[in-house]
Amino acid sequence: MLQIYNTLTRSKIPFEPLQAGKIGMYVCGVTVYDYCHIGHARVMVSFDVITRYLRWSGWEVNYVRNITDVDDKIMRRAAENGETVEHLTQRMIAAMHEDEQALSVLRPDHEPRVTAYMDNIIAFITDLIDRGFAYRADNGDVYYRVEKFDGYGKLSGQQIEELRSGARVEVDALKESPLDFVLWKAAKAGEISWPSAWGDGRPGWHIECSAMSRCCIGTTLDIHGGGPDLPFPHHENEIAQSEAANDCTYANYWMHAGAVRVNQEKMSKSLNNFFTIRDVLKAYNPEVVRYFLTSAHYRSYIDYSESSLTEARSALERFYQALQGVEFAVEPQGVNPAYQQRFCEAMDDDFNTPKALAVLFELVNELNSAKRDNSPLLPHLAGELKRLAGVLGLLQQSPDQFLKGEDKAGEISATEIETLIDARKQARDNKDYAGADRIRQQLLDQGVVLKDSREGTSWYRDTTS
């Protein structure tokens, strides 16, 4: 049975859907004012793997991930760039989709944008005002009455008393309580805005997801997911809004991906260790980055470093080298069913990808043995490896495509590499080991790494050098 760690209960519990065989999952997406960074990639890949596995297991998944396309950061960045908010957001959304495609992240079923759901957001705020959970301030802002909602803080473990004592001394005179948060921001002169009963303005950040999830899935979600920084205040405020407006549980399971650290430090622009996805992909094969992000459990933090990416590259090399020169069966037969069984057991245990990958490495060992023995089971083992790895979005390239890459201007060509490998083999046959070493070093200086095995010499381009 599938078990999921629920942030709300702080425990791993059996998954029970609202409707048999169906899952409604909402994941908080990106505020599109800049290029996506490696932290965004962690969330994207984590929930992509989760969705792929659920569908492979037979679930019908309605996967919704929103886009915040109006926000203070967006407005400031557009003004700095001298472009319209719409032009900036369209550019950043297109770039996000390019990054996702490179990382083999499948598009969600629905990708609602805030600007397309303004009527729904305004209607949601109206519901909260009518129920006494929200009020209009003198300047046209609309705030949520936090202390009216029983159970505020249940997701994050925050206590109302502690929040109140920790609130700023300088209380905003517009608010009834310093804990209240904004649902609608009154527009200032020249700002992008929409008309409402409280005056022209735009929504606060938290209300967007409450409104869009209700429209795209319903009043109760099976799963609500997001990044490590969202339990408080964002998801806490979503619960308060949604349960006050809908009179029912907002989400039955809360899932949060772990943080990305850079060389054991928190990633931030102030520390100058902030990496966009596209910058990372200039140095590393996209599948190496995806493997790196998948190699740790989605809830644990992951350390981004050169050594981590090198380890990911080496791991993928083992997979692709095992598959190199082998035809694989599209419908594998005769393979020990324990591989799939243990793979599923790992994934059913809160999507434990490290354990699932360990099963794949065992399959690689048997595949290599079958290659040495020229076993008739060889294409079936290769097919099973491709099939199970595909559930994680891995092994999507041909072995040669991954290991050798494409010829690029200024690089030594594949034909030249093969010629030098033949010359090195001849030198070794003639016991000219110094000459063979010189050829190896000549190739290494040009970013080509040789791997000698019983089957011969394979090579790959070292994209990290």
* 453 or 380, higher pLDDT: 380
Which residues contact residue 420 at a Cβ distance below 8 angstroms, ignoring those fewer than 6 apart? Answer: 439, 442, 443
**Omega cis (within 30) before 233:** yes
329-402: CATH topology is: Four Helix Bundle (Hemerythrin (Met), subunit A) (1.20.120)
Token pair recorded at residue 122: 């305004």
Compute the Cα dihedral for 249, 352, 311, 315 and give only its sign.
negative
Whole-prediction pTM: 0.91
Does pLDDT of 457 surpass 70?
Answer: yes
For position 27, what pLDDT does the model report? Answer: 98
Token pair recorded at residue 47: 């929930």
For position 231, what pLDDT does the model report? Answer: 97
* 405 or 248, higher pLDDT: 248
The answer on whether 384 is annotated among ligand-binding residues is no
Residue ranges of the domains in the chain?
Answer: 16-260, 329-402, 405-461
For position 458, what pLDDT does the model report? Answer: 79
* 453 or 102, higher pLDDT: 102
For position 459, what pLDDT does the model report? Answer: 82
For position 367, what pLDDT does the model report? Answer: 97
When mean pLDDT is compared across 225-229, 270-274, 378-382, the lowest value belongs to 270-274
DSSP 195: -
User: What percentage of the chain's residues is helix, strand, coil (to nearest 5)?
Assistant: 45, 15, 35
Does pLDDT of 37 surpass 90?
Answer: yes
Q: How much of the chain, in percent, has pLDDT values that exceed 70?
A: 96
Q: What is the pLDDT of residues 393-422, one digit of tens each?
A: 999 999 988 988 766 667 888 889 999 999
Give start and end residues of each alpha helix (H) in 199-336.
205-216, 236-246, 277-283, 286-294, 306-323
As a whole number, mean pLDDT of residues 372-399 equals 96
Which residues contact residue 256 at a Cβ distance below 8 angstroms, ignoring those fewer than 6 apart? Answer: 7, 225, 226, 227, 228, 230, 231, 299
Q: How much of the chain, in percent, has pLDDT values that exceed 90?
A: 85
The answer on whether 36 is annotated among ligand-binding residues is no
| CATH number, domain 16-260, options 1.10.3720.10, 3.40.50.12240, 3.40.50.620, 3.40.50.2300 | 3.40.50.620
For position 168, what pLDDT does the model report? Answer: 53
For position 170, what pLDDT does the model report? Answer: 47
Q: What is the pLDDT of residues 316-371, one digit of tens each?
A: 999 999 998 899 999 999 999 999 999 999 999 999 999 999 999 999 999 999 99
The length of the chain is 465
CA torsion 362-345-65-214 (nearest 10°) is 180
Residue type present at position 113: R
The answer on whether 83 is annotated among ligand-binding residues is no
The answer on whether 248 is annotated among ligand-binding residues is no
- d(C-alpha 329, C-alpha 341), whole Å: 19
The answer on whether 238 is annotated among ligand-binding residues is yes
